[in-house]
Amino acid sequence: MSNYHIKHLEEYYQVYRKSVREPENFWAEVAEEHFMWRRRWDTVLSWDFKKPEIKWFEGAQLNITENCIDRHLRTKGDQTAIIFEPNSPDETAEHITYQQLHDRVCQMANVLKDKGIKKGDRVCIYLPMIPELAISLLACARIGAIHSVVFAGFSSKALASRVNDSECKMVITSDGSYRGSKTIDLKGIVDEGLESCPCVEHVLVVNRIDSEIEMKAGRDVWLQPLLDEASPVCEPEIMNAEDPLFILYTSGSTGKPKGMVHTTGGYMVYTAYTFKNVFQYKDGDVYWCTADIGWITGHSYIVYGPLANGATTVMFEGVPQYPDFGRFWQIVEKHKVNQFYTAPTAIRALGKQNISFVENCDLSSLKVLGSVGEPINEEAWHWYNDNVGKHKSPIVDTWWQTETGGIMITPIPYVTPTKPTYATLPFPGIQPALLDEEGKEIKGNQVDGRLCIKFPWPSIARTIWGNHERYKDTYFSAFDNMYFTGDGALRDEVGYYRITGRVDDVIIVSGHNLGTAPIEDAINEHPAVAESAIVGFPHDVKGNALYGYVTLKETGESRDQNNLRNEINQLIKDRVGAIAKLDKIQFTDGLPKTRSGKIMRRILRKIASKDISNLGDTSTLLNPECVQVIIDESL
Ligand code: 6R9
């Protein structure tokens, strides 16, 4: 079908116009042509952004794993589905064919069933980037269980709050994990977290690092012996298109993380269709996304999107700097990677190293380069284009969110002329709008505003687990009849979009979304701390780093500030994770506040970025005098 693989710009505009004029016909055609449905839908779309309620392909039945695995077996049974590249280059890479993937997913699914997991039950997956991680997601989907992956860099507290929020009955983890030259005691973190999780009945443990760990009798069991006994056949559970497929937590600006709920049919259609077009994936290509499956990028573009296309997808366990800063490029050469998808923070870190790391490797297999997670700055864009793409592989700067499920604004490689720092044009079916602060749509080009989406697309998250009100408040209340993204954007003279960053208090550090609230909560647990405020400030590798303003309790005794700094960062590491450690901590006597008592992070952000010429009106503050004090102290 012609609109499946867009081949030139004129065709993009044609497809795009159709997708806006007749969205239901457009998506029905995509869904009909490329997937295996057990029952066809009755209605393509019903929606109401006020309630909000969005349903795609209602009445349809399917199993996503049949689409990602079974239907490829006849023609691609022996083709590699997953290439597993271990942390250490000395360990042999593993090539898992579609047939092997089928058998392993079914075995795991049978183990889950055996442990009493049923359709609709929640299973938490806390694993490093090893094949069992992808297999666990698919095994849950096979039997209709809802997976909730928690990134295996999160602390025991963060894990526990997510497990409890969605009342997971099971956790799948490993004894430990490799991370560069280090090993991490994952099972120890799980044990600590689960002390406060009465809902968990079973813990399945993968042996990854052969370490001696404690197994809690009646709860913990090694996975491999169970897999060895399990049948490699498991009939897929037939799901409704709107049955939940997974929950994935994302930070909010206030309160606890939000468990975004994605459903089955629309998510499958959208991730598969975007994967094919955004990466121009052709049969036989090798595709590599460096993200962790703990984030939405890994869910949609390591597992579901690629496998739904029968692609070969690389899973890398390690880190870009181990054993040296050439590792990414060595992997591209070794597996002859054709599409390479990474984050600006990685590009900036690698761009700081000696160029010989890149030059020593044969990167001629590359055809498409991708970027995701945060705005890519101009310097990083050029470095990527010059040294990795060598001006031959277009860069797709893909803007999207956990909540959107799939890529929303992006160039189509070899079709859309790229422009550094611009995500360029909306993907077919996506109708962006820029709004001013009063909620009026700003039409025309060369304008900027708050980025909203006017019309539903198949992979939009349907709710927040257990809190539909919060879903409505966060995304559908700021502007009438619009999904609000939380990002600001500008539209240039030809209609290209550039994302300018968050307009709320979420800070993106190394591509990870961090809410201010959980970090401040951790700091405030320190007995000496009265109050704190976290803001982001520009950092040449991480994109943003964290700057903490901390006021101390008045106790009359003097304290060693360096010790305090270390203790605060240790607390953050324990409560939130090492990713959220502060680069700078300034102790101060007061924080600027509004009269209703809200900390004015906007002002602190400017001071942290050394942009004090235009602080705006500070006279309405409760305590305007503290602003000058903070500036003076920071110099
Ligand atoms: C996929 C993902 C979402 C937020 C998003 C925006 C930022 C992502 C971007 C980008 C500029 C890009 N973001 N991609 N900003 N250009 N290409 O990252 O999801 O972790 O939920 O983060 O990331 O601010 O709102 P998530």
Nearest alpha carbon to residue 252 among 77, 475, 33, 543: 475
Nearest alpha carbon to residue 273 among 265, 284, 263, 285: 265
Q: Which is the closest atom of ligand 1 to the Cα of 400?
A: 1
Is residue 5 within 8 A of residue 280, CB to CB? The reply is: yes
Nearest alpha carbon to residue 224 among 311, 284, 129, 135: 135
- Between the CA of 524 and the centroid of ligand 1 the distance, in Å, is 28
CB atoms within 10 A of CB 306: 28
The residue whose CB lies within 8 Å of the most ligand 1 atoms, and thus the one to mutate among 249, 401, 427, is 401
Amino acid identity of residue 385, one-letter, is N
- Between the CA of 25 and the centroid of ligand 1 the distance, in Å, is 29
Q: Whose CA is nearest to atom 8 of ligand 1?
A: 373
Torsion of CA 10, 16, 17, 19, to 10 degrees: 150
The token pair at 101 is 């993937």
How far is residue 169's CA from residue 163's CA, in Å, rounded to a whole number?
Answer: 9
- Between the CA of 17 and the centroid of ligand 1 the distance, in Å, is 25
How far is residue 376's CA from residue 396's CA, in Å, rounded to a whole number?
Answer: 11
Element (H, E) at 53: strand 53-58
- Between the CA of 485 and the centroid of ligand 1 the distance, in Å, is 10
Report in angstroms the alpha-carbon separations of 424 from 26, 54, 403.
22, 27, 20
How far is residue 415's CA from residue 427's CA, in Å, rounded to a whole number?
Answer: 12
Give the contacts of 212 (CB within 8 A, at least 6 positions apart): none
How far is residue 97's CA from residue 101's CA, in Å, rounded to a whole number?
Answer: 6
Give the global pTM: 0.89
Q: Which is the closest atom of ligand 1 to the Cα of 508?
A: 23
- Between the CA of 508 and the centroid of ligand 1 the distance, in Å, is 8
Report in angstroms the alpha-carbon separations of 183 from 190, 200, 328, 578, 599.
15, 26, 20, 15, 40
ipTM of this complex prediction, to 2 decimal places: 1.00
How far is residue 194's CA from residue 261's CA, in Å, rounded to a whole number?
Answer: 23
Q: Is the CB–ligand 1 distance for residue 486 below 6 Å?
A: yes
- pLDDT for 310: 98
- Between the CA of 401 and the centroid of ligand 1 the distance, in Å, is 5
How far is residue 9's CA from residue 18's CA, in Å, rounded to a whole number?
Answer: 14
Report in angstroms the alpha-carbon separations of 406 from 211, 425, 460, 548.
38, 15, 8, 33
- pLDDT for 596: 60
Place of tokens 């997708």: 19
Q: Which is the closest atom of ligand 1 to the Cα of 375?
A: 11
Q: Whose CA is nearest to atom 10 of ligand 1?
A: 374
pLDDT under 70: residue ranges of the chain: 1-4, 252-255, 595-598, 619-620
How far is residue 161's CA from residue 518's CA, in Å, rounded to a whole number?
Answer: 12
- pLDDT for 558: 81
Q: Which is the closest atom of ligand 1 to the Cα of 485?
A: 25
Tens digits of residue pLDDT in 436-473: 878 999 999 999 899 999 999 999 999 999 999 999 99
- Between the CA of 302 and the centroid of ligand 1 the distance, in Å, is 17
Nearest alpha carbon to residue 264 among 52, 476, 110, 41: 41
φ/ψ of residue 531, rounded to 5: -160, 160
Q: Is the CB–ligand 1 distance for residue 397 below 6 Å?
A: yes
How far is residue 29's CA from residue 27's CA, in Å, rounded to a whole number?
Answer: 5
The token pair at 287 is 């595709």
- Between the CA of 493 and the centroid of ligand 1 the distance, in Å, is 23
How far is residue 601's CA from residue 325's CA, in Å, rounded to a whole number?
Answer: 36
How far is residue 239's CA from residue 236's CA, in Å, rounded to a whole number?
Answer: 9
Q: Whose CA is nearest to atom 1 of ligand 1?
A: 401
Q: Is the CB–ligand 1 distance for residue 294 below 6 Å?
A: no
Is residue 246 within 8 A of residue 65, CB to CB? The reply is: no
- Between the CA of 372 and the centroid of ligand 1 the distance, in Å, is 6
Question: Which residues partner with 428 through β-bridges?
Answer: none
How far is residue 618's CA from residue 437's CA, in Å, rounded to a whole number?
Answer: 20
Q: Which is the closest atom of ligand 1 to the Cα of 501?
A: 24
Strand-strand pairing, 53-58 and 220-222? unpaired
Q: Whose CA is nearest to atom 19 of ligand 1?
A: 401
Q: Which is the closest atom of ligand 1 to the Cα of 513?
A: 20
Strand ranges inside 540-587, DSSP E: 543-552, 584-587
Q: Whose CA is nearest to atom 17 of ligand 1?
A: 399
How far is residue 591's CA from residue 199's CA, in Å, rounded to a whole number?
Answer: 40
Q: Is the CB–ligand 1 distance for residue 296 below 6 Å?
A: yes
Torsion of CA 450, 422, 286, 96, to 10 degrees: -20
Q: Whose CA is nearest to atom 5 of ligand 1?
A: 401
Question: Which residues partner with 511 through β-bridges?
Answer: none
Question: Which residues partner with 38 through β-bridges?
Answer: none
Is residue 116 within 8 A of residue 207, CB to CB? The reply is: no
The token pair at 543 is 């994109």
- Between the CA of 511 and the centroid of ligand 1 the distance, in Å, is 8
The residue whose CB lies within 8 Å of the most ligand 1 atoms, and thus the one to mutate among 300, 341, 374, is 374
Q: Is the CB–ligand 1 distance for residue 237 below 6 Å?
A: no
**Would you call 454 helix, strand, or coil by DSSP?**
coil
Nearest alpha carbon to residue 417 among 397, 394, 398, 399: 394
Q: Is the CB–ligand 1 distance for residue 292 below 6 Å?
A: no
- Between the CA of 598 and the centroid of ligand 1 the distance, in Å, is 26
Q: Is the CB–ligand 1 distance for residue 502 below 6 Å?
A: yes
φ/ψ of residue 347, rounded to 5: -60, -45
Cα 586 vs. chain centroid, distance in angstroms? 31
Angle at which helix 156-165 crosses helix 561-575, to 10 degrees, equals 40
Q: Is the CB–ligand 1 distance for residue 592 below 6 Å?
A: no
The token pair at 332 is 């591209």
